[in-house]
Amino acid sequence: MSSHADTATITVSRFAPPYEQFTPQPLTALGGLADWRGCALVWRLADATAQWPEYAWLSQRPVGFPLMILLPHPDDIGRTVPLLRRVRDLRPRAVVPGALLGTPEHLRALLAAPPRSVAGAVTEYLRLRGVLRSEAARREVLRVLELAPEVVSISQLARRLYTSRRTLGRHFGEWGLPVPSHWLQFGRLLHVCMHLHVEHAAVFRIAARAKYPDGFTLSNQMKRLLGHRPSAIRRLLGWEWIVESWLEREGLA
C-alpha cells in the first residue's frame, strides 16, 4: 500500500458557509433542501471495496444537493476504478484531483462558478425535478431562460419568441407552470445571482448591467421572488438552492 493510501480519508463531507472546512456527513437522512442552502456534499474516493455503501447513499440523494468528487493520488487510482465507472450517474458538480484541487479554497470557487450554460443546466434540473414534464415545455422554458439576460418585459420576450403574449401564456397554463412573466423575472434574477457569487462589484453596478433601475429595486425583487436579498445570495453559493427557493415561492417545490 502506498503512503498516499495511508493518509486517504474515506468519507462523505458537508461543505458549508463560510467554506473553510469539510464537516463529516453521516450516511443518514439529509433533511430538507432549505437546510442545505449554499452547501454541497464532498466525496473523497479512496477504495471502491469499502465505499460502495457511500455510493448507494449518494445515488439516492434528492435532486438539489450539489456533489463534488475528489479523486485520490494517481498512484492509488486503481483502487477506485469500479467506482469511477459509475460516478457520472451521481450527476456531480465537479470531479477533481483531490491532491491538487481538493482544498476548501478551490471547492469554494467551483461551487461559486456558474454552469457553462445557465439556461441549459437549470432546464435539465427542472426536468429531473419533474417540473417540466414535456419536451415542448422544456424547449420553451429553455428559450425564456436564454433570453432573460437580454429582455426586461414580457412583450419583448414574446417578440423574441415570434409569438404573442396570449399564446405564450396559454402554453404555460396548459403545462401547469407559472405565468411567463414569472419565468422571465426569475431568469433575470438567476443571472444576477451568478454575478453576485463571483464578483465583488457593488450591487447597484450589477443591477445597472442587468437593466434594473437601481440596486434597491433589484433587492426588493429578489426578496419577493427568491426570499433573499443580494447580501444573503453572496454568502450562500451554488445555484440549485436558488432554483428551489423560487419553486417554493411559486408553490412547485
Classify residue 5 as exposed, middle or buried by CB count within 10 Å of its CB (0-12, 13-18, 19+). Answer: middle
3-state SS, one letter per residue, for 234-247: HHCCCCHHHHHHHH
pLDDT (0 to 100) of residue 33 = 85
Q: pTM of this prediction?
A: 0.91
Q: Return residue ranges of the chain for CATH 1.10.10.60.
A: 118-249
According to the model, what pLDDT value does residue 253 have? Answer: 83
Task: Provide the CATH topology of domain 118-249.
Answer: Arc Repressor Mutant, subunit A (1.10.10)
Question: What's the pLDDT at 181?
Answer: 96
**18 φ, ψ (degrees, to nearest 5):** -90, 25
The per-residue pLDDT for 7 is 35
DSSP state of 149: T
pLDDT at 9: 60
pLDDT tens digits, the chain, 253 residues: what are they? 333 333 346 489 999 999 999 999 999 999 888 889 999 999 999 999 999 999 999 999 998 999 999 999 899 999 999 999 999 999 999 999 988 889 999 999 999 999 999 999 999 999 999 999 999 999 999 999 999 999 999 999 999 999 999 999 999 999 999 999 999 999 999 999 999 999 999 999 999 999 999 999 999 999 999 999 999 999 999 999 999 999 999 999 8
Per-residue pLDDT at 1 = 36
Residue the block writes with cell 486517504: 8
Strand locations in the chain, DSSP E?
A: 11-15, 22-24, 40-44, 67-71, 94-97
* Own/partner long-range contacts of 97-103 (Cβ < 8 Å, ≥24 apart): 97/70, 97/71, 98/44, 98/45, 98/70, 98/71, 98/72, 98/73, 99/4, 99/72, 99/73, 101/70, 102/44, 102/70
